[in-house]
Amino acid sequence: MELAQDTSTEMIHAFPPLCSVCIANYNGIAFIDACIKSVLAQDCSFPVEIIIHDDASTDNSVEHIRKNYPGIVLITSAENVGFCISNNRMVDIAKGRYILLLNNDAELFPDGLSTLHAAAESLGKPAILGLPQYDADTNELIDIGSRFDLFLNSIPNRDRDEPQIGMIIGACLWLSRSLWDELGGFPDWFESLAEDMYLCCLARFYGHTVKALPDSGFRHWVGKSLGGGKVFNNRLTTKLSRRVLSERNKTFVMTLTYPAPVFQLIFPIHLALLLMEGMILAMLKGKPSLYKDIYWACIKAQWVERKRLQQLRQKIQARPHIDMNKFLSVFDLMPYKLSMLWRYGFPEVR
């Protein structure tokens, strides 16, 4: 595998960076300028480095970044490796005490980094932090972190006073380097999607804080990077590739981080509901391939990866972790897919 790294002397400061902003880029030339400029425009008193991992883009992203932003640390991959490996590579070379993972289609508010840093310092303990997420199209608030239903479907939280959330979206996720190292980063084999869910669930399982801050924020071109995951014309649309990875990896996270006896109770119900959903969707859409490509593929992946999942689950569950009541505090009883089905019908899979 070929991997190249460009490091400009402009990034060498008298003091090491306090924060390393890591931006995974794949064919993001339409968004990358706004993303980078939002970081360069931060109103903060501490040094920041920007690291970009280009995941074998074909849209001239690499040449554009090299020409216009010589002060950025640029890693270029000869092959597409996915979001997880991209971020793992960037954090490996990051010099900051804190890490901010930032999507290439996300734009920070000017006080984003200072808000995150102040909150991290005031907590005085390792935590995963996030900012309110706004739709870049409409400027409407999308969420301030997310809660879960029992089947790990993320439920957008819009209550600024809600202290109990389960997840910070990976489009703008802040944590200390020490916590990243403790958690082990993203599993390479997830490729993309639900890696943020894994990291947040694992952190909470170990008793660390996962908190969405009520102030500042970031704008996000939702669904532009991976496609779908957004309501359009009162219908929920998604790409097949996104749905495949989402269902598979979400089930991986459940397998790894749900404590007994919750796992033994919920997991078989989850698999049964997935198969039922797949059959209904395939019949209604007249596309039997949807059942095979999304739902049966998810079940099959659990079997194919069973040894890896079992070994990692044993390692995770063996560590001291939070009690059951605290673990369940971020879960809602109502299945979120049912409410989405009632509002928008079955999603359009493209």
HSE, CB side, 13 Å, CA atoms: give it for residue 238.
Answer: 15
Count of other CB atoms within 10 angstroms of residue 328: 15
pLDDT of 323 reads 92
pTM summary value: 0.92
pLDDT of residue 226: 53
Nearest to 152 by CA among 235, 269, 240: 269
Residues 6+ apart with CB under 8 A from 29: 57, 59, 60, 61, 64
In terms of Cα–Cα distance, which of 167, 188, 25, 182 is closest to 99?
182
Query: How many Å apart are CA 102 and CA 173, to the nearest integer?
Result: 7
Q: Across the 350 residues of the chain, what is the mean pLDDT of every consecutive 10-residue run?
A: 57 72 97 98 96 97 97 96 97 98 98 98 96 96 97 96 95 98 97 96 97 97 62 63 93 97 96 93 88 94 97 96 93 86 67
Distance CA 125, CA 206 (A): 13
Q: Tabulate helix, strand, coil % of the chain (nearest 5).
A: 45, 20, 35
pLDDT of residue 5: 73
Cβ(163)–Cβ(188) under 8 Å?
A: no
Res 343: pLDDT: 73
The pLDDT of residue 222 is 86
Domains for the chain: give ranges and CATH numbers.
3-220 (3.90.550.10), 228-349 (no CATH)
Cis amide prior to 320 (ω within 30 degrees): no
Tokens 């009520």 map to which residue?
Answer: 214
- Tally Cβ neighbours within 10 Å of residue 4: 11
Residues 6+ away with beta carbon under 8 Å from 142? 133, 134, 135, 156, 220, 222
Residues 6+ apart with CB under 8 A from 46: 17, 18, 19, 113, 117
Identify whether the C-beta of residue 253 lies closer than 8 Å to the C-beta of residue 204: no
- Residue 173: helix, strand or coil by DSSP? strand
| 109, 130 contact by CB (below 8 A) | no
